[in-house]
Amino acid sequence: MRRWAAAGYLPTFRRLFESAAWTDYVHPPEHQAGTIWTSINTGLGPLRHDFQFFMRFCADSYRLRLARADDIRDDWFWKWFVQSGRRIVLADVPYSIPRPEYGGKQVWGWGPHDLPWKESSAPIGMLRALSAQFGVHPVPSCRDYSTETDSLLRLKSGLLTGVERRTAMLRSLIVCRDWDLLYGVYGEPHCAGHMMWHLEDEMHPGHNREQLAPVGHALREVYVAMDRGLGELLDSAGTDTTSVVFFSHGMGPNYHGEHLFPDFVSRFNDRWEGRGPDVGRRHERGGRFDSVWQGSVGRLPTTRRDGVRRRLPMSLRAWITVKRLQNPKLWSRMPALSLPLLEVFSALRVNLVGREPRGRIRPGEEYRRYLDAFAEELLQLTNVESGGAAVERIFRADRLTDPLTMGSGPDLLVWWSKSSPIRAIRSQTLGTISGEQTEIRTGEHVMRGMFLVSHPQAKHGHHTISGMNVLDISATLCDLAGVQPGRVLDGTSRRRNFLAE
- Name the 3-class secondary structure at 293: helix
Q: Is residue 132 classed exposed, middle or buried when 0-12, 13-18 and 19+ CB atoms within 10 A define those classes?
A: exposed
The per-residue pLDDT for 383 is 97
Let me know whether 116 and 263 are in one domain: no
Q: At what angle do helices 261-272 and 365-379 cross, to 10 degrees?
A: 130
Q: Is residue 212 part of a domain?
A: yes
Let me know whether 388 and 474 are in one domain: no
Radius of gyration of the chain (CA): 23
**How confident is the model over 406-421, as pLDDT tens digits?**
999 999 999 999 999 9
**How confident is the model over 96-150, as pLDDT tens digits?**
999 999 999 999 999 988 777 889 999 999 999 999 999 999 998 888 899 999 9
Let me know whether 217 and 339 are in one domain: no
Number of neighbouring beta carbons within 10 Å of residue 255 = 21
Determine the average pLDDT of the residues in 358-378.
97
- Name the 3-class secondary structure at 182: strand
Let me know whether 272 and 241 are in one domain: no
Let me know whether 408 and 449 are in one domain: no
| pLDDT band, very low/low/confident/very high, at 292 (cuts 50, 70, 90) | low
Q: Of 434, 458, 488, which marks where a domain is finished?
A: 434
d(CA 261, CA 283): 9
Q: Is residue 232 part of a domain?
A: yes
Number of neighbouring beta carbons within 10 Å of residue 349 = 25
| pLDDT band, very low/low/confident/very high, at 38 (cuts 50, 70, 90) | very high
Let me know whether 245 and 287 are in one domain: no
Q: Which residue has the higher pLDDT, 402 or 340?
A: 402
Q: Of 434, 461, 486, which marks where a domain is finished?
A: 434
The per-residue pLDDT for 53 is 84
For the ranges 42-51, 222-231, 314-323, the lowest mean pLDDT is seen at 314-323
Q: Output the CA angle 306-307-313, nearest 5 degrees.
A: 90
Q: What whole-number percentage of the chain has pLDDT above 90?
A: 81
Number of neighbouring beta carbons within 10 Å of residue 3 = 10
Q: Output the CA angle 38-95-102, nearest 5 degrees.
A: 95
Q: Of 388, 411, 434, which marks where a domain is finished?
A: 434
Let me know whether 209 and 225 are in one domain: yes
Q: Is residue 215 classed exposed, middle or buried when 0-12, 13-18 and 19+ CB atoms within 10 A define those classes?
A: buried
The per-residue pLDDT for 14 is 97
Q: Is residue 245 part of a domain?
A: yes
Report CA dihedral (115, 300, 283, 383) to the nearest 10 degrees. Answer: -80
Please report, for the domain that includes residue 168, its CATH number.
Answer: 3.40.720
d(CA 167, CA 172): 9
Determine the average pLDDT of the residues in 162-179.
97
DSSP one-letter string for 326-359: --HHHHTTSSEEE-TT-TTSEEEEE-BBTTBTT-
Let me know whether 469 and 364 are in one domain: no
Let me know whether 279 and 364 are in one domain: yes
d(CA 430, CA 436): 19
Q: What is the pTM of this model?
A: 0.92
**Does the pLDDT at position 278 exceed 80?**
no
Q: Output the CA angle 158-441-62, nearest 5 degrees.
A: 115
The per-residue pLDDT for 294 is 67
d(CA 495, CA 242): 12
The per-residue pLDDT for 438 is 81
Q: In terms of C-beta distances under 8 Å and separation of at least 24 residues, what long-range contacts does 488-493 make, across chains too?
A: 489/43, 489/44, 490/39, 490/43, 490/44, 490/45, 490/48, 491/43
Q: Is residue 61 part of a domain?
A: no
Q: Is residue 51 part of a domain?
A: no
Residues in CB range of 455: below 8 A, 6 or more apart? 20, 21, 242, 243, 480, 498, 499
Amino acid letter, 322: V
Contact present, 251 and 445 (Cβ < 8 Å): yes
**How confident is the model over 52-108, as pLDDT tens digits?**
888 899 989 999 998 888 899 889 999 999 999 999 999 999 999 999 999 999 999
**Does the pLDDT at position 306 exceed 70?**
no
Number of domains within the chain: 2
Number of neighbouring beta carbons within 10 Å of residue 2 = 13
- Percent helix, strand and coil across the chain, each to the nearest 5: 40, 15, 40
Structural domain that includes position 86:
2-27+75-252+445-498
Let me know whether 413 and 464 are in one domain: no
For the ranges 214-223, 255-264, 275-284, 398-407, the lowest mean pLDDT is seen at 275-284
The per-residue pLDDT for 463 is 94
**Does the pLDDT at position 291 exceed 80?**
no
Q: Is residue 35 part of a domain?
A: no
Determine the average pLDDT of the residues in 35-42.
95
DSSP character at residue 361: B
Nearest to 201 by CA among 146, 258, 251, 144: 251
The per-residue pLDDT for 148 is 95
Tell me the CA distances in angstroms from 487 to 52, 94, 373, 484, 498, one per residue in order.
Answer: 22, 22, 38, 9, 23
Let me know whether 367 and 310 are in one domain: yes
Q: Is residue 324 part of a domain?
A: yes
d(CA 305, CA 300): 6
**How confident is the model over 409-463, as pLDDT tens digits?**
999 999 999 999 999 999 999 999 999 888 889 999 999 999 999 999 999 999 9
Let me know whether 157 and 293 are in one domain: no
Q: Is residue 70 part of a domain?
A: no
Report CA dihedral (220, 222, 226, 228) to the nearest 10 degrees. Answer: 70
Determine the average pLDDT of the residues in 188-212.
95
